Amino acid sequence: MNFENNLAFAQDLDQHDSLGKMRNEYLFPQHNGKPFIYLCGNSLGLQPKVAKQVLNTQLDNWQNLAVEGWFDGNSPWMFYHKELKKLMAPIVGAKDIEVCPMNTLTVNLHLLMVSFYQPKAKKYKIIMEGGAFPSDQYAIESQIRFHGFDPADAIIEVKPREGEYILRTEDILNTIKDNADEIALVLFGGINYFTGQWFDMPAITKAGHDIGAIVGFDLAHAAGNVPLKLHNWDVDFACWCSYKYQNAGPGGISGIFVHEKHFTNEKLHRFAGWWGYKEAQRFKMEKGFVPEVGADGWQVSCTQVMPMALYHASLQLFEKAGFIEALRAKSITLTSYLFYIINQDNKELGEEQFKIITPDKVEDRGAQVSIIAKANGKQIFDALVANNVLGDWREPNVIRLSPVPMYNSFEDVFRTGELLLKISQSL
**Is there a binding annotation on residue 153?**
no
Separation CA 34–CA 44 (nearest Å):
20
Domain count along the chain = 2
Reply yes or no on whether the pLDDT at 255 is more than 90: yes
Residues 235 and 334 occupy one common structural domain:
no
Q: In 180-337, at which residue ranges do the beta strands (DSSP E only) sit?
A: 183-189, 214-218, 237-240, 255-258
Residues 336 and 400 occupy one common structural domain:
yes
Q: Report the share of the chain in percent with pLDDT over 90.
A: 98
Last residue of a domain, one of 320, 350, 374: 320
> Residue 350's CB: how many other CB atoms inside 10 A?
7
**Is there a binding annotation on residue 218?**
yes
pTM for this prediction: 0.96
Reply yes or no on whether the pLDDT at 427 is more than 90: no
Residues 111 and 13 occupy one common structural domain:
no
**Is there a binding annotation on residue 135?**
yes
- The secondary element (H helix, E strand) that includes residue 8 is helix 7-15
Query: Helix 410-426 to helix 323-349 angle, to the nearest 10 degrees?
Result: 20
Helix H, strand E, coil C: the string for 48-69 is ECCHHHHHHHHHHHHHHHHHHH
The answer for residues whose C-beta is within 8 angstroms of residue 41's C-beta and 6 or more apart is: 244, 245, 247, 367, 402, 404, 406, 407, 408
Last residue of a domain, one of 297, 320, 343: 320
Residues 302 and 376 occupy one common structural domain:
no
Average pLDDT value for the chain: 97
Identify the CA nearest to 133 among candidates 182, 196, 185: 196
* DSSP single-letter state for residue 184: E
| Over residues 304-308, mean pLDDT | 98
Residue 382's CATH number = 3.90.1150.10
For 259-275, how does the pLDDT look when each residue is reduced to its tens digit (9 = 90+)? Answer: 999 999 988 999 999 99
> Residue 50's CB: how many other CB atoms inside 10 A?
16
Last residue of a domain, one of 298, 320, 342: 320
pLDDT of residue 1: 86
Alpha carbon of residue 263 to chain centroid? 25
For 324-380, how does the pLDDT look when each residue is reduced to its tens digit (9 = 90+)? Answer: 999 999 999 999 999 999 999 999 999 999 999 999 999 999 999 999 999 999 999
136: helix, strand or coil: helix
Q: 57, exposed or middle or buried, with CB in 10 Å at 0-12, 13-18, 19+?
A: middle
Residue 253's CATH number = 3.40.640.10
* DSSP single-letter state for residue 261: G
**Is there a binding annotation on residue 274?**
yes
137: in domain: yes
**Is there a binding annotation on residue 402?**
no
Residue 301: φ, ψ to 5°: -115, 170
Separation CA 112–CA 269 (nearest Å):
9
Reply yes or no on whether the pLDDT at 125 is more than 90: yes
| Local confidence band at 102 (pLDDT 50, 70, 90 cut-offs) | very high
Residues 194 and 144 occupy one common structural domain:
yes
For 195-210, how does the pLDDT look when each residue is reduced to its tens digit (9 = 90+)? Answer: 999 999 999 999 999 9
| Over residues 82-95, mean pLDDT | 98
Q: Report the share of the chain in percent with pLDDT over 70.
A: 100
Q: In 231-384, at which residue ranges do the beta strands (DSSP E only) sit?
A: 237-240, 255-258, 354-356, 369-373
**Is there a binding annotation on residue 243?**
yes
Residues 284 and 367 occupy one common structural domain:
no
For 146-196, how does the pLDDT look when each residue is reduced to its tens digit (9 = 90+)? Answer: 999 999 999 999 999 999 999 999 999 999 999 999 999 999 999 999 999
| Over residues 55-78, mean pLDDT | 96
The boundaries of the domain holding residue 374 are 7-35+324-426
The single-letter code of the amino acid at 103 is N
pLDDT of residue 292: 96
Separation CA 140–CA 194 (nearest Å):
19
For 27-55, how does the pLDDT look when each residue is reduced to its tens digit (9 = 90+)? Answer: 999 998 999 999 999 999 999 999 999 99
154: helix, strand or coil: helix
Separation CA 280–CA 273 (nearest Å):
15
pLDDT of residue 17: 98
**Is there a binding annotation on residue 187?**
no
Residues 126 and 221 occupy one common structural domain:
yes
